[in-house]
Amino acid sequence: MNNRKAAVDVFDTPDRLMAAAAEVFVECADHALRASGRFVVALSGGSTPASLYGLLATEPIADRVDWPRVHVFWGDERCVPPDDPASNYRMARERLLDHVPVPPPQVHRIHGEDDPRAAAEAYERELRATLATGSLDLVLLGMGNDGHTASLFPSTPAVREPERWVIAHQVAGAPSAAWRITMTPLVLNRAADVLFLVTGADKAATLPRVLEGPLDPDVLPSQAIAPRDGRVRWLVDAAAAAELTP
Is pLDDT of 4 > 70? no
Please give the domain boundaries of the chain with CATH numbers for all domains: 3-237 (3.40.50.1360)
Per-residue pLDDT tens digits for 51-70: 999 999 999 999 999 999 99
Q: Name the pTM for this structure.
A: 0.95
Closest among 137, 134, 174, 187 to 45, alpha carbons compared = 174
According to DSSP, the β-strands at 138-141 and 39-43 are parallel
Residues of the chain above pLDDT 90, percent: 91
Q: What is the pLDDT of residue 2?
A: 44
User: Using CA atoms in the order 5, 55, 206, 44, what is the torsion angle rounded to 10 degrees?
Assistant: -80
